[in-house]
Amino acid sequence: MAVTLSQDGRFHRQLIFINGLLPMVLIGFDAWRGKLGVNPAEFVTRATGVMTLVFLILTLLVTPLRKLLGWNWLLKQRRLLGLFAFYYCCGHLLTYLAFDRDWQLGTVFEDVVKRRFIAVGMFSFVLMVPLAVTSTNAMIKKLGGARWAQLHRLTYYITIGGVLHYYMIVKSDATYPLWFAAVVAVLLGYRVVVSLRKARERVAVGVVK
Amino acid sequence: MNPISKIPSNEITPEETFLNRRFFMKTAIWAGSVVATGGMYRAFSPRADVKSTGSEIATVVDSTFQSSLGADEKVNSFGEIAGYNNYYEFSTDKSAVAAKAKDFVTDPWSVEVGGLVGKPRVFGLEDLLKMESEERVYRFRCVEGWSMVIPWVGFPLVKLLNLVEPKSEATHVAFETYYDLKQMPDAGSAGIDLPYVEGLRMDEAMHPLTLLATGLYGKTLPNQNGAPIRLVVPWKYGFKSIKSVVKITLTNREPPTTWSLANPGEYGFYSNVNPKVDHPRWSQARERRIGEAGSRETLMFNGYEAQVSHLYAGMNLEEDF
C-alpha cells in the first residue's frame, strides 16, 4: 500500500536535497556565465553565509513545528538540514580563505585573534564539525540517543554565533542580521518557555508529594 | 464494527487514480518548491548590467594631468562603475542603488557656496557644466577593501573656490549632500545620520588633485554615482568623495563628517588611504580591484603619495586616521 505524503520520507529527502543544492547550482551557473555581479567574491561570500544561517534556522524550526503542529515526520529530515548548514558553512569558509586570506593559511590564526567577528564565525564553524561528524546512524548508536541529543544542542550556540558574526560585519544598516536575530530569538525563546514550564510542573509534582 | 467496511466499493478510489493523483501532487510540490527557491535566489542575486543614459559633456578640454597608473592597471568598465555604488540614501545594497536612483531629479540643481568667503554664490547646474572640464583617470579605493579605476570628468575644486574668494580665516571646507525622503524613501534604514556631510582641510580642498566631477566616460554622471556633481578626493577612502553636493561652506573649524559621527572609532576625519593603518574590523593592507581575480597591495595615499604626503608632514597618521 502507498504511504501518505506526510509519511513519504524519501520524497521529503529528495525535496530538501534539490532545494538545498539549488542555490549552489545557481551560483555555479551565474559564475559560469559571468553574472555574479561587479564583485563576485563579495556576493559568493555573503550568499554562502546567509545560506548557512537559513539552514541552521530550518533545523531549529523542526522541534516547534513538531510540538505545535504535530509534524513529526520533519524529525527524520533534521540531520539533512543540519548537513546543508555545514555544507554552506564550508563554502563560506573557503570564500574567506580564498578571497580574504589569498590562501595564506598561516595568517588565519593571527586573523582570528585580531578580529572579533572572524573569531565568532570561526567559533561557530569549529562547533559544527563534531556535529557533522556524528551525523551518521552509527554515531547515534555509539553515543546513545540522549548524549547525542545533548551534543547536538550545540546548534543553539552555533546559530547565535552565526547571527552575531553577521551583525558584527555590517557597516551601518543592520536590517538583515536583526531579522535573523529576531527569528532565532523566537525559536530559542520557545525552548526556554517549554523548559521553564516543565521545571514548574516538576516543582508542582514535588509539592504534592 | 469497522467503519471502513461501510464505504461502498464504488466510492473507493481505484489504486491507479490514487497513484496518478499522488504523482500529480508530488510534481506540483517539486515544481513549486524549486520555483520558490530559485526565485528567492534571483531576488537577492546581482542585477543585470547598467547602461549609460548620460549626455555628452561639451566643455571637456585636453588634460595635462599625468594619471600615474601602473602598466597593469586597467580602467574599469562603465557597467562596473555604475553598477556597484555606495549611496546609502537610496540603498545599502551596492548592486541595487542604480535601479533605486533611476528617477532621482538632478536638473534643476543648485550648489550654494558660502561661509567664510568674500563672494557667496549659488551656482546653477548650467554654471557648473559650463566650467572648463577635463578627464582625470583616478584610482578609487573604498574603505570596505575594494577599488576601481575611474575616468572622471570634472574640474579642480580650487577653481570653484577661487570664484567665491575664500577669506584668510577659513581653515576647512564642509560639504553636504542633497536629502529628500520623498525621492530617497529607503534612507531611513541607512543606519547613518542624514543629510550626508563631509569635510576637508583648506589645503586638501585647494589641492590640484581634488576634483568636482560632473561626469564619467565623457558623459554626465549617472544618478547612482552622485549626479549631477560630486567631490572626488583620490587619496582618501571613497566615502570622503561626497555625492550630489548641494552645499559647500567654508569654516574656521573642523566640520563634522557622517561616518565619523556614526562610528568615531572606525572612521576618522582624514581617512587617507593607508595600508599600514587597519580598519578595526579588517585589514587595509590589500584591496580587491574590481574585475581582477586576486587581490593587490594597497598603495600609500592610494598611489598619490608624491603629490600629497607633504600635506601631512609631521602628523601621526595612526592617530589622525
User: Which candidate from A36, A115, A173 shows the least CB-CB separation from B281?
Assistant: A115
Q: Which pLDDT belongs to residue A21?
A: 96
Cα A52 off chain centre by? 5
Q: Where are the alpha helices (DSSP H) in chain B?
A: 15-44, 78-82, 97-100, 125-130, 157-164, 202-206, 258-262, 305-308
| Residues found in chain A | 209
DSSP readout, B128-149?
HHHS-EEEEEEEEE-TTSEEEE
Over residues B74-100, the mean pLDDT reads 95
Q: Which pLDDT belongs to residue B149?
A: 97
Residue B293 in domain: yes
- Minimum Cα–Cα distance from A1: chain B residue: B15
- Cβ separation of B30 and A18 shorter than 8 Å? yes
- Cβ separation of A22 and B37 shorter than 8 Å? yes
What whole-number distance in Å separates Cα of residue B180 and Cα of residue B92?
16
Q: How many domains does chain B have?
A: 1
Residue A209 in domain: no
Q: What percent of chain B has pLDDT above 70? A: 98
Q: For chain A, give the mean pLDDT.
A: 93
Angle, alpha carbons B300-B301-B305 (nearest 5°): 85
Q: Which of A40-44, A190-194, B43-47, B188-192 has the lowest mean pLDDT?
A: B43-47
> Which segments in chain A show pLDDT lower than 70?
1-3, 207-209
Question: Whole domain around residue B222: which residue ranges?
Answer: 72-312
Q: Parallel, antiparallel, or unpaired: how do β-strands B286-289 and B296-297 relate?
A: antiparallel
Q: A–B: how many Cβ contacts below 8 A?
A: 89
User: What confidence category does residue B47 fall into, taking pLDDT thresholds of 50, 70 and 90?
Assistant: confident
How far from B24 is each of A13, A14, A31, B17, CA to CA, in Å?
18, 16, 34, 10
- The residues, ordered by sequence, that sit 6+ positions from B25 with a Cβ below 8 Å of its Cβ are A5
ipTM of the complex: 0.86
What whole-number distance in Å separates Cα of residue A185 and Cα of residue A188?
5
- Cβ separation of B95 and A19 shorter than 8 Å? no
Strand order in the sheet with B197-201: B121-124, B110-115, B245-251, B172-177, B197-201
pLDDT over threshold 50, residue B1: no
User: What confidence category does residue B49 fall into, taking pLDDT thresholds of 50, 70 and 90?
Assistant: confident
Q: Which pLDDT belongs to residue A131?
A: 96
Residue B46 in domain: no
Residue A73 in domain: yes
- The residues, ordered by sequence, that sit 6+ positions from A122 with a Cβ below 8 Å of its Cβ are A112
Q: Which cell numbers in the block locate residue A192?
A: 526556554
| CATH (domain of B230) | 3.90.420.10
Are residues A169 and A119 in contact, defined by beta-carbon separation less than 8 angstroms? no
Q: Which pLDDT belongs to residue B5?
A: 60
pLDDT over threshold 90, residue B60: no
Q: Which chain B residues are within 8 Å of A42, Cβ to Cβ?
A: 146, 288
| E strand spans, chain B | 60-61, 110-115, 121-124, 133-141, 146-156, 172-177, 197-201, 211-216, 219-220, 230-232, 245-251, 286-289, 296-297
The pTM score is: 0.89
- The residues, ordered by sequence, that sit 6+ positions from A147 with a Cβ below 8 Å of its Cβ are none
Q: Which pLDDT belongs to residue B154?
A: 96
User: Is A36 in CB contact (< 8 Å) with chain B?
Assistant: yes
Are residues B43 and B99 in contact, defined by beta-carbon separation less than 8 angstroms? no
User: Is B286 in CB contact (< 8 Å) with chain A?
Assistant: yes
What whole-number distance in Å separates Cα of residue A48 and Cα of residue A88?
5
Over residues B37-59, the mean pLDDT reads 87
How far from B244 is each of A66, A199, B77, B228, B291, CA to CA, in Å?
54, 61, 22, 6, 26
| Residues found in chain B | 321
Q: Where are the alpha helices (DSSP H) in B83-198?
A: 97-100, 125-130, 157-164
Q: Which pLDDT belongs to residue B208?
A: 96
Q: How many domains does chain A have?
A: 1
Are residues B55 and B219 in contact, defined by beta-carbon separation less than 8 angstroms? yes
User: Is A105 in CB contact (< 8 Å) with chain B?
Assistant: no
Question: Whole domain around residue A169: which residue ranges?
Answer: 8-201
Greater confidence (B48 vs B231) lies with: B231
How far from A90 is each of A153, B28, B242, CA to CA, in Å?
20, 32, 38
B101-106 long-range contacts, CB within 8 A, separation 24+: B101/B222, B101/B223, B101/B224, B102/B223, B103/B183, B104/B183, B104/B184, B104/B223, B104/B227, B104/B244, B105/B183, B106/B223, B106/B227, B106/B228, B106/B244
Q: Which cell numbers in the block locate residue B51?
A: 547602461
Number of Cβ within 10 Å of residue B64's Cβ equals: 6
Q: Where are the alpha helices (DSSP H) in A1-153?
A: 9-32, 40-69, 78-95, 108-114, 116-133, 137-143, 145-152
User: Which candidate from A37, A102, A174 shows the least CB-CB separation from B295?
Assistant: A102
Number of Cβ within 10 Å of residue A7's Cβ equals: 12
B64-80 residue pLDDT tens: 787 789 889 999 999 99
Residue A156 in domain: yes
Least Cα separation, residue A76 to chain B (angstroms) = 19
pLDDT over threshold 70, residue B185: yes
DSSP readout, A16-54?
HHHHHHHHHHHHHHHHHTT-S-S-HHHHHHHHHHHHHHH
Residue A149 in domain: yes
User: Is A167 in CB contact (< 8 Å) with chain B?
Assistant: no
Question: Mutate which of B194, B281, B287, B292 to test chain A, going by most A C-beta atoms within 10 A?
Answer: B281
Q: Which chain B residues are within 8 Å of A171, Cβ to Cβ?
A: 92, 144, 191
- Cβ separation of A175 and B83 shorter than 8 Å? no
Residue A180 in domain: yes
